[in-house]
């Protein structure tokens, strides 16, 4: 007999801490995009960020109320569609800022690689939990092709994140040991050669990261300016809408990839500490349920979500502080951008849904094919 999770039961078992952090990060993002674009030609991005956040909230609850059976049934189609969108964006969309990453829908751009990342998580969680070897190897091959398409956009950060997610899920599953060991060996062996397949600006970013003083006026300019802005904020910052380097446009893209520099300058060390603490609590909360659940599907979802959030936060803040190369990775739910907000909203909606699902019924009474 099938056991169905009714909506009121999901509400009763609603995990409160994760959505509270989710809404807090959205609010911080709106406020920081406001000050980062204040009195600039792109000030309208502040209003777009509000719209993106509303769409994100809708996505969050839409995923939350989807039945697990429905998610598992539609994910192969979503994964396939997104793969073809990667092909479309690479060959049929015009380059923007030297890259082909976005599908333009009027004033809004959709980045398929973000959706490909989360759909990769869900589809591998599905087939690894079912121990379907044929599907796993087929999907691994398709994902490898997807990595090639993302790398050609070019988007090195998302390429590494997607590979890292595939590797983590395979490793955590305890299956296909030879596969992940071979992939790890090939990645380490080919890393020095990958440098020569990068775009010129990607190689320049790595060189600028290694020797920032020699590239202060070039590729390392953004990173050095972001570091100075953060340092100038001190412990408590200069106050909201009072950041001199922010308001004077000394940090390019400070509403997007370098938004942590705005937080550091205007809210200080404690402002950055607050943001990092929110992410840390979020990750720890998901980790608790990852260790608690016995259902493999949700265990893989939780560990994958942890990896996606952690590496995005680490890379973004790291490149602002000069301890990581610049890769154009956004700060989840805070940086300007609709694709990343909707992607992380769906991810956290999925996590919250999983918690409500597995907490509502005992593991032995709940069927995987709900």
Q: Residue 359: is it exposed, middle or buried by C-beta count within 10 angstroms (0-12/13-18/19+)?
A: middle
Could you give the CA distance from residue 326 to residue 14 in angstroms, rounded to a whole number?
A: 38
pLDDT in tens, 195-226: 666 666 666 666 666 666 555 545 577 888 88
- Mean pLDDT of the region 114-141: 95
| pLDDT at 137 (0 to 100) | 95
**Buried-state track 2-13, b at ≥16 Cβ within 10 A, e below 16:** eeebeeeebeeb
Say yes or no to pLDDT of 247 above 90.
Answer: no
For the chain, give the percent of residues with pLDDT over 70: 84
Return all residues near 188 (Cβ < 8 A) that are at least 6 apart: none
Q: Give the length of the chain.
A: 370
Say yes or no to pLDDT of 172 above 70.
Answer: yes
Say yes or no to pLDDT of 6 above 50.
Answer: no
| pLDDT at 91 (0 to 100) | 86
What pTM, to 2 d.p., does this model score?
A: 0.89
Q: Residue 1: is it exposed, middle or buried by C-beta count within 10 angstroms (0-12/13-18/19+)?
A: exposed
pLDDT in tens, 38-91: 888 888 899 999 999 999 999 999 999 999 999 999 999 999 999 999 999 988
pLDDT bin (cut points 50, 70, 90) of residue 3 is very low
Q: Number of C-alpha atoms within 13 angstroms, CB side, residue 34?
A: 12
pLDDT bin (cut points 50, 70, 90) of residue 106 is low
- Mean pLDDT of the region 111-131: 95
Say yes or no to pLDDT of 363 above 60.
Answer: no
For the chain, give the percent of residues with pLDDT over 90: 59
| pLDDT at 2 (0 to 100) | 43
- Mean pLDDT of the region 176-190: 86
Say yes or no to pLDDT of 361 above 80.
Answer: no
- Mean pLDDT of the region 19-31: 97
Output 160 or 345, whichever has higher pLDDT: 345
Q: What are phi and psi of 105, to 5 degrees?
A: -125, 85
Could you give the CA distance from residue 180 to residue 170 in angstroms, rounded to a whole number?
A: 7
| pLDDT at 324 (0 to 100) | 84
């Amino acid at each position: 007999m099938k056991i169905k999770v009714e909506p009121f039961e999901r509400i009763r078992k609603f995990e409160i801490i994760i959505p509270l952090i989710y809404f807090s990060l959205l609010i911080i993002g709106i406020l920081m995009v406001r000050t980062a674009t204040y009195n600039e030609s792109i000030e309208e991005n502040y209003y777009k960020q509000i719209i993106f956040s509303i769409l994100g909230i809708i996505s969050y609850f839409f995923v939350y109320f989807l039945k697990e059976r429905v998610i598992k049934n539609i994910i192969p189609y979503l994964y396939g569609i997104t793969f073809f969108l990667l092909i479309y964006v690479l060959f049929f969309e015009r380059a923007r800022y030297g890259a082909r990453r976005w599908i333009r829908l009027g004033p809004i751009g959709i980045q398929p690689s973000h959706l490909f990342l989360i759909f990769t998580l869900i589809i591998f969680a599905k087939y690894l939990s079912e121990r379907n070897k044929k599907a796993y190897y087929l999907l691994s091959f398709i994902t490898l092709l997807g990595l090639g398409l993302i790398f050609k956009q070019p988007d090195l950060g998302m390429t590494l994140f997607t590979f890292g997610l595939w590797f983590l899920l395979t490793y955590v599953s305890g299956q296909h040991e030879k596969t992940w060991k071979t992939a790890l060996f090939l990645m380490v062996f080919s890393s020095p050669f990958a440098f020569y397949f990068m775009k010129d600006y990607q190689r320049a970013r790595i060189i600028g990261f290694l020797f920032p003083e020699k590239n202060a006026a070039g590729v390392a300019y953004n990173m050095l300016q972001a570091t100075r802005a953060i340092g100038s904020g001190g412990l408590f910052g200069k106050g909201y809408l009072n950041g001199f380097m922010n308001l004077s446009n000394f940090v390019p893209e400070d509403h997007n990839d370098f938004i942590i520099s705005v937080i550091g300058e205007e809210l200080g060390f404690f402002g950055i500490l607050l943001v990092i603490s929110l992410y840390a609590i979020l990750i720890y909360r998901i980790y608790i349920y990852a260790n608690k659940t016995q259902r493999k599907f949700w265990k893989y979802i939780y560990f994958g979500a942890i990896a996606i959030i952690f590496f995005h936060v680490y890379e973004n803040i790291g490149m602002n502080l000069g301890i990581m190369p610049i890769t154009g990775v956004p700060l989840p739910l805070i940086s300007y951008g609709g694709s990343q907000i909707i992607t992380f909203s769906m991810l956290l909606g999925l996590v919250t849904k999983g918690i409500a699902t597995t907490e509502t019924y005992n593991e032995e009474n709940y069927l995987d094919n709900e």
